[in-house]
Structure 1
Amino acid sequence: MDIKEIINSLNLIYYEFDNKKNILIKDVNYTNKYTRLEFFKITYYLTKKNISFNVLKDKSINFSKSNSGIKSYVLSFLQNINNSKKNIFLLNDKKVKWAENIPLFKIIYKEKKVRLDDYDALIFTSKNAINAIESMNKDWKTIPSYVISEQTAKLVKELNGNLEYISKTKHGDEFAYEICDKLKGKKVLYLRGKEIVSDLINILQNNDVVCDDDVIYENKFNKEVKKKKIPKNSKIIFTSPSTIKYFFKVFSWDESYTAISIGKTTAKYFPKNIKPIIAKNTSFKSCVDTALSLS
């Protein structure tokens, strides 16, 4: 059993394995009781299996043989210089190291009451939906949540929600098929944005799941966004179909650019002349890591 198989078997949320660097990287945006429990879970299991590892300052876990201090510093310094020259653009306002933000949209929460009394489960395919329902009805935390990614799961845990299931595939339609059997005979509520691109609702309803949906937030073009020069050979990260639409409201495409798509669904919405590279995982960090891995 190799390291990657072991990591997958642990069903981690706050740690992501970097196969190239042979490091299990902790999400530095979260430091709570759940991250500590996950850290102890990992280190206990690795110790039990007699697998050698080193714990880094940020609680990431390194499986490679440690370099000497000076050599490690030099390698890290050179890598940082190389990363800083990549010209990576993330088309939202979320800060990720090595990426420059172009905030093309704003998230607007609906002003409404959402009743949750009759539902056995909630479905989330976006962190925005979780933040929105948190502002409307905190009772959502008592209902089992089925989520599409680790990023969404982290927020459920952070807000002390009831996390029931995380998708293995991370993509809309496939996620729906994953949870059909788990939700069969139950009444569920899909809390979502105004625009959706998957067929999740129909898939569930066609498989004996009573699925209602409620629009609780909206993604709107940011008219205040400032147009900036995007250099040739830049890597541009698109995190939803709307970012593709909004990008072309402001910018023109240069054939030297590389498009990074956060997932398979978003990738379907690019113009025919643009062939995006799909990130390994549906997280902004994974998108940036994908961009950094390109020459």
Structure 2
Amino acid sequence: MIYLISNTAFNDESIRQLKLCKIKFNLFSVDLSSFDALIVTSKNSINALKFNSIALTDILVFTIGKATALACKEFGFTQIYEAKNSHGDEFGVEILNSLRDKKVLFIKAKETVSNLDIYFSQNGIDITVVDGYENLILNPNDIKKPEPNSTIIFTSPMNVRAFIQNFGWDKSYQAVAIGKATAAALSNYCDNVIVSNTQNLKSCIELAKNISLSS
């Protein structure tokens, strides 16, 4: 059986989705017109803008992933740079020079793995950081632990933490990680994590299905 550990809905009857986290949006006020560029690494950052009714100013936006870029477009941004690298550290290196001499806003999760804000600050970027949202771990009583030999897709380090907190780990599980940071979070429990070449849910699920068919 294939399990998807994510709070992003994915409609596939062959996959069992376990929602072990929820997003809490924080209150903040910001004037986008005061900035030259915006960094968005998750569509939750755009949802945080919506939650706080932040008025659109069409500034340059640097994004990770097609889903995030689409969320930026739907919000109304038109100057969108979608990174070639979907991993946090590589993303930082990729866009660093494009941020020089710009006043930059970064809307992020309260807790992150990559520390992009520190990297940009250390490299002389004028950056303002807003913790727009946070991931909270759920402890649902109505969800059973996946059976042995399941293939389990993890979509973030926080989802790894939530899974371990709720169920622990079984050595028979095969783990699929959406990216390097998620794989690193699994490294203490699983020594055969397979990382998706493309950092999106569809690619992860296709990979998990191929693994299940070949096992």
TM superposition score normalised by structure 1: 0.67
- Residue by residue over 1:140-190, the C-alpha shift from the partner in whole angstroms, topping out at 9 and shown as x without a partner, is 452221101112111112232234211101011110111111111101011
- Residue by residue over 1:193-247, the C-alpha shift from the partner in whole angstroms, topping out at 9 and shown as x without a partner, is 1101103112222333211110011110123353214122211111111111111
- Residue by residue over 1:245-279, the C-alpha shift from the partner in whole angstroms, topping out at 9 and shown as x without a partner, is 11111113122111111101121112434131101
Note the residue ranges of structure 2 that are not aligned, 5 or more in a row. Answer: none
**Aligned twin of 1:91:** 5
**Aligned twin of 2:201:** 284
- Structure 1 segment 199-210 matched on structure 2, within 5 A: 199-210=115-126
Q: 1:149 to 1:208 in 2, by over 3 A?
A: same
Quick check: 1:184–1:207 contact (8 Å CA) kept in 2?
Answer: no
DSSP-derived class of the 2:32 partner:
coil
**Aligned twin of 1:29:** none
**Aligned twin of 1:74:** none
If asked which structure has higher relative contact order (CA below 8 Å, sep 6+), I would say 2
**Aligned twin of 1:272:** 188
Note the residue ranges of structure 1 that are not aligned, 5 or more in a row. Answer: 1-86
**Aligned twin of 1:165:** 81
Which of 230, 233, 243 is residue 149 of structure 2 equivalent to? 233
Quick check: 1:186–1:209 contact (8 Å CA) kept in 2?
Answer: yes
**Aligned twin of 1:16:** none
Which of 116, 133, 142 is residue 49 of structure 2 equivalent to? 133
Give 1:115 shift: 3.0
Distance, in Å, in 2 between the alignment partners of 1:96 and 1:256 is 26
Distance, in Å, in 2 between the alignment partners of 1:117 and 1:225 is 46
Quick check: 2:72–2:80 contact (8 Å CA) kept in 1?
Answer: no
When the two chains are superposed, the root-mean-square deviation of aligned CA atoms in Å is: 1.7
- The aligned length equals 209
DSSP-derived class of the 2:185 partner:
coil
Identity of aligned residues (%): 36
DSSP-derived class of the 2:144 partner:
coil
Q: 1:221 to 1:190 in 2, by over 3 A?
A: same
- Residue by residue over 1:52-85, the C-alpha shift from the partner in whole angstroms, topping out at 9 and shown as x without a partner, is xxxxxxxxxxxxxxxxxxxxxxxxxxxxxxxxxx
Q: 1:279 to 1:197 in 2, by over 3 A?
A: same
Give 1:289 shift: 1.0
Higher Rg:
1
Quick check: 1:156–1:163 contact (8 Å CA) kept in 2?
Answer: no
**Aligned twin of 2:96:** 180
Quick check: 2:178–2:200 contact (8 Å CA) kept in 1?
Answer: yes
DSSP-derived class of the 1:142 partner:
coil
Distance, in Å, in 1 between the alignment partners of 2:5 and 2:79 is 29
Distance, in Å, in 1 between the alignment partners of 2:133 and 2:115 is 19
TM superposition score normalised by structure 2: 0.90
Q: 1:111 to 1:206 in 2, by over 3 A?
A: closer
Which of 216, 222, 246 is residue 138 of structure 2 equivalent to? 222
Distance, in Å, in 2 between the alignment partners of 1:92 and 1:102 is 6
Quick check: 2:92–2:116 contact (8 Å CA) kept in 1?
Answer: yes
Distance, in Å, in 2 between the alignment partners of 1:103 and 1:191 is 24
